[in-house]
Structure 1
Amino acid sequence: MTGQRSRVPKTIRENLHFLCAEIDGQLIQLEAFFKEPTAATARRIQDRAGYAHNLKSRILAACVRQMTGAKKNNRKHITLRSLELIASDLQRLSNLARQSLHHVERIETFETLEPQRYPAIVKRVRSGVASIEQALTDSDSELAIEIGQLQDKIEADYRKLFKIYTKEMRNPDIRPADIANSLLVASEIQRMGDSLKSISEALISANIGQAVNFERYFALQSLMSDLEGPVGNLTVETIAETRSGSSISAIKDRKTEEVAAVFKDGEKSKVKEERQGVKSWHSIYPGLAPKILSYEKRNQSAALLIEHLPGFTFEHIVLSENDALCATALNRLTRTLKDVWKQTRAQEPAELGSMQQLAKRLGEVRRVHPEFQDRKVSFSGESLPALDKLIEQATEREANVPAPFSVYIHGDFNVDNIIYDPGEDRIHFIDLHRSRYMDYVQDVSVFMVSNYRLQVLDRDTRKRIMNVSQDFYKSARGFARKQGDATFEYRLALGLARSFASSTRFIFDKSHARRMWLRARYLIEQALACPPGGEARFRLPMKELFVD
């Protein structure tokens, strides 16, 4: 994926040229020092620290000026961010050169360092620096890859040195301090390889207009070759960054702007779960999940090329489309869900375990909202039990009220994981790595709270959100009654409590988070107030819950 010639602003291009030349000059001095250590050579490197810093600062300042008005994820913005990273890593090479000299100064017997091994390693670093400008100007990703691959060679050099030094630790004639400082020198040089890899990734990101790392680029390159048509006609555009660390991008035709496929990558275990989830849906209920066009794994990461699904996410419909489309989409969603639940119903009871889930997530919630730390609550002179104690009591109650049957659920049924295609009047599910047989209340509660937590203050939109939640609840309740699920509302109360409380870790607005937190406590209190054995008579106070 080698792109067109890069258009780098003249000021940045000139300062980058001077910075590369400056770093090369310092590395030449470092190489000379290892061949013949003199105080004058070391001083020349130490005295030039300010030059690299000033050039980097000029590049960063120019990038900031250029980024004014640029959209966050467009090609210009990504190129400028990449240039900032390249400049910072180039200066880091200068810092590492000086730090290595600080360690050398503490070595009494210079031969302990095995200095003859270092010039070749420094020369590798210099070759990487020498290729930066060409890789950027020509948008040459292959050359950028070669720069990054120098890290592997430098790492191999480091391991050899490490082996030598650790072996010398057993030599009583060598000062332990000399060995320790030699290891520190080797470590600084090893980190130069890390900087070259970072520069390589920044160059690739600038070239293809998409923030990538080494693993992601190779996966993207491999999967894009599976698509029909020339790869050169395709562009990559970020769609989303998931909370689990995955990245989602659209592969578009450069000329028509039509989306050819969706690229998703991340931690191998998560992507593998996503792939398995899609496969399961295809076998259990065909047509809901997108098709997987290709799969690639590399080291600890993996990637999927997924069929692009036409339509809108449910979040977009609720926030941006008209009432008629919103009502149509909700109607199709509830009908689809009921059909899925009927067709996948299994007689095995299912435990929701929402209170156990909440207990595990309290730490994350309180790191974001320390004000939710468990403490005694007083109201009108009465001491109320702490929330943690309520959750503990509710866990025991919930274990005795399983769902009477299991169905196949989405598992992460947020409004941005549901797509409605108005043209075909069809629902599709995405992000399926948590799909499994479970209590359907899990999906019901997550969907309802994912609507509520949308951070929109517009009065009409908030009213629509409330109506969607209420109508969805009524549909799910109707299904439960027809299926003879008497404890649906009791389990839903605890499921909603879990979703309200745990979702606050994604909410920065303190007042909105507090409203959700108090609703969670209220629901748990209501569930505990219900006499044991009376769960079938429990009724949710929906009007109070979903009104701001």
Structure 2
Amino acid sequence: MTNLPKPIRENLHFLCAEIDGQLGQLEAFFAEPTVATARRIMDRAGYAHNLKTRIHAACVRRLAATGKDNRAHLTLRSLEFIATDLQRLANLARQSLRHVERIESFETLVPARYPAIVQRVRQGVARIEEAFFKNDSERAIGIGQLQDKIETDYRKLFRIYTREMRNPDVLPADIANSLLVASEFQRMGESLKSISEAVISANIGQAVNFERYFALQSLMSDMEGNGGDLKVETIAETRSGSSISAIRHGKTQAVAAVFKDGEKSKVKEERQGVKSWHSIYPGLAPKILSYRKRDQSAALLIEHLPGLTFEHIVLSESDTLCETALACLAATLKDIWKQTRTSEPAELGSMQQLAKRLGSVRRVHPEFKDTRIRFAGEVLPSFDALIAEAAAREAKVPAPFSVYIHGDFNVDNIIFDPGEKRIHFIDLHRSRYMDYVQDVSVFMVSNYRLQVLDLETRQRIMNVSQSFFKSARAFARKQGDETFEYRLALGLARSFASSTRFIFDKSHARRMWLRARYLIEQAVACPPGGEAGFRLQMKEIFVD
């Protein structure tokens, strides 16, 4: 545990004591309701708020002085969360009293049931300091588990109140306010769980929720045979909500494995994708060391693959290494495509994909709203109208064959091992048989959207995209895929436009949006039946 200043420790102690005191008054109120008891609780709002504010201010000052010590940052941030949720308990207690005040018949509330619930909350508050300052994760888990008991208490009260709705002698308003009182206590349980997660995060040096902690503990127990202390550090968080962490040996700092968790369906897809690649093209995907599921979440322990991401290579490594990695990637893809080719035609459906993502794009960039454009006295079709027209054209031009694709072929999902000169793929939950143009277009645009502005790097990005395009086009011609460039134009348009939802820079996003429109206009302008003769002006598209 970070060596916290004495004022922070003292203020947390005072805040826990203050909240326990207010909860004690609340417990007494339900046992014997009096105006005086209620007033004592209502009048203490300012003190809890001041203590929380002092803790926050002290943590902010401490954060500014900790440099880049991630463990210290996490401890201080966890302490802020704990203080916030402690004050929230006091707020919920006062809010419950406001609902009680509106109940005409106090017996409708069944007040005898509430002291036991308040005692559960007090038990949680009493465990916080020891769990936090003594790194006692078992005690922290106990705090979180109180939520389940409070939730059970809430459901019993809910059934009582809803049953009383059929009683003509009970005022509907009393039932409504009783339900609101019970709801405030349900939220107290949620606050205890949040406090539990904050304490656990501080103790293990890794931001976790309850489900993630149990999955992490379970999977790390599978690695006990490796010996030595194991430490966890976050290395990425995906847009789908999954978290990715490196598990390192405490002494050597070598990465022993990669831990990935998230929504059960997503993790299950990842696991299935890895298994599929092992059967289809062995050696490309990492090995799954262990798998656990709990409720609606799941986690994987994955083999750590040596090497560098393609993103890192493009942005930070030498031209020679970049060229070597690109050549290895092109050769690997051609081999995969040849080995997995089936005669089943594949519809890319890029315009349908784009249409579904327009809402997300426009929430980030409302300036891309669908309006008609006037230029030189002419009214140009709206973006949405172009997509609809292009979708109809695209449906008539399927790929002549299918191959097994990555499905999310961004530059940070490709790893190159310079020592072995081998390519590896990660993040495989979208892998399937499909038009290979999907991967080609995603890779090219994921290079372009890298947010670097210096001319030398932008030139390298353009060269990578041009070389990759030429390699994919050469494969298409050898396979007799005559409409490759036409489908690629629409695939690139989809990737350019949909990727703007990840780009905050307005000028960069606008350049991508305009490229998408240009490509769709070119595809629509191509005479029906002439798709095999369509040619992409790749230099114009990728130059800045």
What TM-score, normalized to structure 2? 0.98
The one of 297, 307, 320 equivalent to 1:311 is 307
Matches within 5 A, 1:476-487: 476-487=472-483
1:238 match: secondary structure: strand
1:375-425 CA distances to partner (integer Å, 9 max, x unpaired)? 111112221111111111111111111111110000000000000011111
1:440-468 CA distances to partner (integer Å, 9 max, x unpaired)? 00000000000000000011111100000
Corresponding position: 1:200 with 2:196:
yes
1:194-240 CA distances to partner (integer Å, 9 max, x unpaired)? 10000000000000111100000000010111114478711110011
In the alignment, structure 2 segments of 5+ residues that lack a partner are none
- Percent identity among equivalent residues? 82
Matches within 5 A, 1:236-247: 236-247=232-243
1:481-528 CA distances to partner (integer Å, 9 max, x unpaired)? 111111111111111011011111111111101100110111111111
What amino acid is aligned across from residue 191 of structure 1 in structure 2?
Answer: R
Give the drift of 1:187: 1.0
The one of 128, 133, 139 equivalent to 2:135 is 139
CA distance in structure 1 between the partners assigned to 2:334 and 2:367 by the alignment: 40
In the alignment, structure 1 segments of 5+ residues that lack a partner are none
Corresponding position: 1:380 with 2:376:
yes
Q: Which residue of 2 aligns with 1:417?
A: 413
The one of 445, 469, 475 equivalent to 2:471 is 475
Q: Which residue of 1 aligns with 2:35?
A: 39
Seen in structure 2, the aligned counterparts of structure 1 residues 69 and 243 have a Cα distance that, compared at 3 Å, is farther
Seen in structure 2, the aligned counterparts of structure 1 residues 103 and 230 have a Cα distance that, compared at 3 Å, is farther
CA distance in structure 2 between the partners assigned to 1:437 and 1:283 by the alignment: 14
1:295-338 CA distances to partner (integer Å, 9 max, x unpaired)? 11111111100000111100011011111111111111000000
Give the drift of 1:358: 0.8
Give the drift of 1:533: 1.3
Seen in structure 2, the aligned counterparts of structure 1 residues 67 and 498 have a Cα distance that, compared at 3 Å, is same
Contact kept, 8 Å, 1:356 with 1:395, in 2: the verdict is: yes
Give the drift of 1:9: 2.8
Deviates more, 1:522-531 or 1:223-232: 223-232
Deviates more, 1:494-503 or 1:111-120: 111-120
Matches within 5 A, 1:10-21: 10-21=6-17
CA distance in structure 2 between the partners assigned to 1:343 and 1:175 by the alignment: 73
Q: How many residues end up aligned between the 2 structures?
A: 544
Contact kept, 8 Å, 1:6 with 1:207, in 2: the verdict is: no
Q: Which residue of 2 aligns with 1:78?
A: 74
CA distance in structure 2 between the partners assigned to 1:530 and 1:469 by the alignment: 24
Contact kept, 8 Å, 2:228 with 2:249, in 1: the verdict is: no
Q: Which residue of 2 aligns with 1:159?
A: 155
CA distance in structure 2 between the partners assigned to 1:159 and 1:228 by the alignment: 41
What amino acid is aligned across from residue 520 of structure 2 in structure 1?
Answer: I
Contact kept, 8 Å, 1:248 with 1:263, in 2: the verdict is: yes
Q: Which residue of 1 aligns with 2:289?
A: 293
Give the drift of 1:479: 0.7
The one of 375, 394, 399 equivalent to 1:398 is 394
Please provide the CA RMSD for this pair: 1.2
Contact kept, 8 Å, 1:318 with 1:326, in 2: the verdict is: yes
Q: Which residue of 1 aligns with 2:212?
A: 216
Corresponding position: 1:124 with 2:123:
no
Q: Which residue of 1 aligns with 2:22?
A: 26
1:68 match: secondary structure: helix
1:237 match: secondary structure: strand
Q: Which residue of 2 aligns with 1:168?
A: 164
The one of 423, 435, 441 equivalent to 1:439 is 435
Contact kept, 8 Å, 1:6 with 1:138, in 2: the verdict is: no
Seen in structure 2, the aligned counterparts of structure 1 residues 232 and 25 have a Cα distance that, compared at 3 Å, is farther
What TM-score, normalized to structure 1? 0.98
CA distance in structure 2 between the partners assigned to 1:475 and 1:521 by the alignment: 25
Q: Which residue of 1 aligns with 2:507?
A: 511
Seen in structure 2, the aligned counterparts of structure 1 residues 134 and 48 have a Cα distance that, compared at 3 Å, is same
